[in-house]
Amino acid sequence: MIKSAYPVIKTKKIEETAKFYEKYFSFERSFSSDWYISLQSNGNELAIMDPDHETIPALFRGKPTAGEVILNFETNDVDAIYGKFIEDQRKIFLVLRDEPWGQRHFIAQDPNGIPLDVITVIPPSKEFLEQYS
């Protein structure tokens, strides 16, 4: 049985990346070293790791995380986070909008180029309501 599962972002921008997720998504550090930072927020975990660390097998070492994955962050107030991104003039790739399948969201990226889909769940349209179990 799995006790926990969480993404690990491999980057040389360890501190910058941690500060980004602390600022925009209210993560707090639960462990911090020069090669690995573990962040926690409301029972969720996100880790940041040096891509050259010796514990990473050679096949995977030296390759930073960027563009292969989209991280979704579900929040109660997507408008507030969107406002922070706009205020800080962060690039937005999909402007804040409502989707008929039941999401109000926008897409931006973190300091490593990882796409972020920031979402608040809203009621879906009648056509999409039938697709939910």
Q: Provide the CA 77 distance to its chain's centre, in angstroms.
A: 15
For 70, residues 6+ apart whose C-beta sits below 8 A from its C-beta are: 107, 114, 115, 116, 117
The predicted-structure confidence for 48-67, as pLDDT tens digits, reads as follows: 999 999 888 888 888 777 65
pLDDT, tens digit (0-9, with 9 covering 90-100), for 19-31: 999 999 999 999 9
pTM of structure: 0.81
109 lies in some domain: yes
CATH of the domain at 128: 3.30.720.110
Q: Is 62 in contact with 54 (CB distance < 8 Å)?
A: no
**CATH value at residue 40:** 3.30.720.120
pLDDT of amino acid 57: 80
Among candidate residues 108, 105, 113, the one with its CA nearest the CA of residue 92: 108
Q: Are 73 and 96 members of one domain?
A: yes
Instruction: Give the residue numbers spanning the domain of 26.
Output: 1-53
Q: Is the pLDDT of residue 132 over 80?
A: no
The residues, any chain, with a CB within 8 Å of residue 76's CB and separated by 6 or more, are 120
State the average pLDDT over residues 80-86.
97
Q: Are residues 88 and 120 in the same domain?
A: yes
